[in-house]
Amino acid sequence: MPRSLFSHGLLITALLLQHGCGSEQSSAGANAAGNTNEQASFDVVEASFEDMQEAMRDGRASAQSLVRAYLARIERYDATLRATLAINPQAPRIAAKLDLERAAGRLRGPLHGIPIALKDNILTTDMPTTGGALAFADYTAPYEATIVRRLREAGAIIIAKTTLTELANWVATGMPNGYNAILGHSRNPYDPRPDPRPCCNDGRGVLDSGGSSSGTGTAANFWAANVGTETSGSLQIPANNTMLVAIKPTVGRLSRHGIIPITAEQDTAGPMAKYVADATALLAAMEGTDPKDPATGVCPPLPASAAATLLRRDGLAGARIGIPRPFFYEPVAPPGSEAPRGGLTAAEAATMRRAIAVLEQEGAVIVDPAPIPSTVSPDPEANQLLFGNCYDLGQGKGGDANCSTVMKYGMKRDFNQWLSSLGTTAPVASLTGLRRFNRSREAQGAIRYGQAQLDISDEMELTADRSRWRADRQKDRRLSRDEGIDAALERHDLDALLMPAWRGENIINKAGYPAVSVPFGEVPNVLDPPLPADFEAKPMPFGVTFAGTGCSEPRLLTLAYAFEQATQTRRAPALP
């Protein structure tokens, strides 16, 4: 067992012994918690926020009993799944305080007493924030992220930090999803077995856990929900792969202050949960303007009582939903290329046909096809498929003429600014310092898969390359917005585009636009090179994503909730 997991086990055991059975509560706290035998009958597995609130209202649960139940599940299963980078030792104490508030009639809202987890690139002062990097092992920041403060004010209990792909997957292109140098490989709970192929038997799981955020702990019911971050797919992909709902917000709806960055042009935090209503409650609690993040204030806040206002069972009736077939559903060859790109497998295409049928049954108007103009443009300078992100050694200086420098430039600019915000507590002084640290700790596993992305970021010159970055950002916005998502929505008078699984993440993130992902089906887990003939791979979850223009979260949430209620296909993983 990795040393960090062993330490978690000791801490959890101590917390359960200290706070179990109400023995350490004051008499008022014990009365607020209710009868502990009754609380033991409440099962947190697959419980929604409303299920928990109802149980706390009628005495079948308390915030303290929820914390104990989740800690017990972490203790039982996390050695296999490796979903947890830190446990909050203050969680039981915070839960007791919230139970006393409830007993006194003070309720903060739908998050009151709900245990949630944070991706370990979101700063807190009661747990380390490591980003999964050895240079930040055991590092506790001098301040908390704005969204953490807001969650606490809303009554949420921050119970743990989730694992992540190291530094939100901007280290090395060959690094598997869910790997970091501190914890190693995490696993997908829907098939947590190790990958048996000779190419890949390095500890990774046979079923990809998805992007740099982790959905493993939420899917496995280690906590009620979690907050991740996305720059390019890191909410949508893990949510899809672990049967979760994710809301990738418009950039600027949530403050990024206190979050380890990649690039401010695309970074955002966002909720991951089992249900649309829970994700909506998290989003509403976290949103708002923040003078420490100048991008905030771009969107009006969600309506008061967002759940009652937006989440309607009939929300699909009359909605116009477009099917962007070229590239996202069917392969297309960009200009100058004979090789087609994109498209779906036969199983994925069949799943999407079923999803479209559900939309039609629920009263939606399907516009098919509704191509995104920049994916089919015959002009190479206006074709989104020919202008991806610069992301590997071959796209360093001298090899980056046909890719966007926004992410690699932004990483150097914004990471260095974030380090300076830590003052004298910063473990390294700059991106250059981090790269040097990593090279000096190669024997300890600091850069098992290299650090190509850090290298191509650090070679950027913030002054000399600013004009190139600005031109690339303008092109990204033009191809993703004016000639991209907005063009498709306006041309066909659409409420949203329906994307298969996470396949629209690149254009959605370059635009900075919102998306809501919802579980739906499963497809075969087909790998290349193939798995051994006698290895019976379990299926890969495969959901759908509703995407729209900037600040269209209210409309997308209405559509996603109605689809979720019509299908209700999420299932818990079968853990031993």
Q: 568 is written with which tokens?
A: 């209700």
Catalytic residue among 234, 255, 480, 517: 234
List of residues 6+ apart from 127 with CB closer than 8 A = 86, 87, 88, 140, 158, 160, 161
Three-state DSSP at 520 gives: strand
The Cα 234–Cα 166 span in angstroms is 12
The Cα 108–Cα 530 span in angstroms is 51
The Cα 295–Cα 550 span in angstroms is 13
- Pick the closest to residue 279 from 571, 514, 521 (CA basis): 514
Q: Is 26 a catalytic residue?
A: no
Residue 557 CB burial class (10 angstroms; 0-12, 13-18, ≥19): buried
CA 301 → CA 159, 259, 277, 296, distances in Å?
Answer: 27, 21, 16, 11
Three-state DSSP at 198 gives: coil
By the 8 A CB rule, do 232 and 506 touch? yes
Catalytic residue among 65, 97, 119, 209: 119
Q: Is 255 a catalytic residue?
A: no
Q: Is 408 a catalytic residue?
A: no
Give the 3-state secondary structure of 254-286: ECCCCECCCCCCCCEEEEEECCHHHHHHHHHHH
Catalytic residue among 4, 65, 212, 404: 212
The Cα 392–Cα 383 span in angstroms is 21
Instruction: Return the active site residues.
Output: 119, 212, 234
